[in-house]
Structure 1
Amino acid sequence: MFLASFPAGPWQANCYLFGLTDGHVVVVDPGVDAAETVRRAVEEHDLTVDAVLLTHGHIDHVAEAAQVADHFGVPAWLHGADRELLTDPSSGREQMQQMIAQLGVEVREPADLRLIEGGETLHAAGADFDVVHAPGHRPGCVLFRVRPDEPLEGDLDELIFTGDVVFAGSIGRTDLPGGDDAVMRATLRDVVLPLPDAAALLPGHGPTTTMNHERTTNPYLQEAYLT
């Protein structure tokens, strides 16, 4: 198993390289300033990139998705509800237009963009990624669940790339365009809480955590918040 990550861009969004087949990886959420680091890691470790997986369409997670996917000639997978953030990233919003200009990024669709809905299983880098729709932070948020074929540290037996759905001690905000607090609470109740305690959570920002730890300590996963 290969797993590496680094925080990229001004919002320190986590970008991951992961694979179960020797030398093959997927790139999860290559955001602002991520492409060059991805290329260096691929060269240093003699890797082959099989696909780009996007947990949602916010700029800090997709800004360089097209650069990475097109450079390696691979597909990028994104939920259809967030496609608008690639086709028209500013969407008429002055704040977003200013942000894109300040960052100096060119957000665009990858040449091979493939849309997902949730419920699919994607096959890449020797792994099966179960796609789980988890809206609230954005309509197109998804989780990518994978069970490695070798033991993980401790009693963990599953990896879940959670994007901005759930973090260590927190959750994704819902006050941005496309966010919906009621939908997020439903996702936390119906999607996140049923996740197994033995799952390692690899979030879009901040440190890795576990479902067992978040279930017992994350204030946003407690009954007082969810009811």
Structure 2
Amino acid sequence: MTDLLEDEFGDIIGKARFGLNLSADDVAGQVGISTDELAVLEDCERSPTRAETDALAAVLNLDPERLLAVARDAYVPNPVPLDHGGLRIRVIPYPPMRVYQYVVADVETGQAVVVDPGALPDRILGVLADEQWGAAAILITHADADHIDALPAIHAALDVPIWIHPNEQSRLPALEHADIRTYDHGQRFQAGPFEVEARRTPGHAPGHSSLVLRDLVLVGDAMFAGSLGRTSLGPAYYAEHLAAVRSQILSLPAATRLFAGHGPPTTVGEERANNPFFAV
């Protein structure tokens, strides 16, 4: 499965500038360009020069070679297998929100979990029916609307446990007779045939979690292929956000598959080698 990256050059420098709490005037002045020129770059209206890329990387604590590769459309992660290690993954994209949701199944038992159902409930349920998989649980990495808008319909159809971090639970819509179960960060819990490990990856949402299932991680909006999720909680959380992704996700074996809420799947090894936010 391959796809375009979620974030372009302008998105990356904009996220880094926001996280570092730098104004456009601050960055433009240090780089030696006008604020209008910076806005053009952040809006992806033109490609940067090599000198601009190097200067922006220095100011924004990004890796210049990796940033240049994104600017030149030279980085797309290698295709990641969806069927591997006794797991089968089905991806349900929703282009209007540029979001991906997942159904992950255990081949041996035919049991599956639904992950971050943000849209198209009929298509999600159709995957279960077409594959003849039984639903064991719904897993939520965080409760932004584009990750839970289809939850009421999925819950009504499946009536299975819903797993979420308690700091995200208050953001859920009203769900009648729901079996809502909460996990703590660092906890392992059982969702059907899967032992799931919840890893704390704060910054994008109050209780944002990355969920480890065997050799893959459902990273939500903690990070994307070649980029970082927006630190929506504000610049005060940016350093913690970066540190959490590094320690909780990129510390895993290089072959570990990463499935995000936006953009193509990637691996730990790919991101260690190519992500501008995480130079060694």
TM-score, normalised on structure 1?
A: 0.78
In the TM superposition, what is the alpha-carbon distance from 1:176 to its structure 2 partner? 5.6
What does 1:205-224 correspond to in 2, within 5 Å?
Answer: 205-222=262-279
- Does 133-142 or 119-128 show the bigger shift? 119-128
Kept after mapping to 1: 8 A contact 2:105/2:133: no
Alpha carbons 1:137, 1:178 under 8 Å: kept: no
Q: Which of these residues, 95, 115, 118, is aligned with residue 182 of structure 2?
A: 115
In structure 2, the residue matched to 1:137 is 204
Please state whether the residue corresponding to 2:171 is helix, strand or coil.
helix
Matched with 1:165 is 222
Letter in 1 for 2:201: A
Change (3 A) 1:176 1:120: closer
- Residue in 2 that maps onto 1:61: 147
Return the offset for 1:136. Answer: 1.0
In 2, Cα distance between the equivalents of 1:130 and 1:179?
Answer: 27
| Alpha-carbon distance in 1 for matches of 2:94, 2:278 | 27
Name the structure 1 match of 2:138. Answer: 52
Amino acid at match of 2:156: D
Partner of 2:114: 27
Q: 8 Å contact 2:142–2:168 — kept in the other structure?
A: yes
Kindly provide the amino acid, as one letter, of the partner of residue 157 in structure 2. H
Higher mean alpha-carbon deviation, 196-205 vs 62-71, is at 62-71
Letter in 2 for 1:183: E
Deviation at 1:163, TM superposition (A): 0.6
Moved more, 183-192 or 161-170: 183-192
Which structure carries more strand by proportion? Answer: 1
Instruction: State the structure with more CA Rg.
Output: 2
Secondary structure of the 1:219 match is coil
Q: Which moved more, 1:183-192 or 1:171-180?
A: 171-180
Unaligned runs of 5+ in 1: 87-106, 148-157
Distance 1:113 1:178 in 2: 31
Please say if residues 131 and 145 of structure 1, whose CA atoms lie closer than 8 Å, have aligned partners that are also in contact.
yes
Name the TM-score, length of structure 2 as normaliser: 0.64
SS at the partner of 2:259?
strand
Q: 1:84 to 1:177 in 2, by over 3 A?
A: farther
- State how 1:64-75 maps to structure 2 within 5 Å: 64-75=150-161
Q: Is the 8 A contact 1:138 1:178 kept in 2?
A: no
In the alignment, is the contact (CA less than 8 A) between 2:208 and 2:222 conserved in 1? Answer: yes
Moved over 6 A (4+): none
8 Å contact from structure 1 (residues 122, 128) kept in 2? yes
- C-alpha offsets along residues 25-60 of structure 1, whole Å, 9 cap, x if unaligned? 0000000x2311111112212221110000111110
**Unpaired runs of 5+ in structure 2?**
1-86
Aligned to 1:16: 102
How far apart are residue 177 of structure 1 and its match? Answer: 7.1
How far did 1:179 drift? 8.4
State how many pairs are aligned.
192
Percent identity, aligned pairs only, is 32
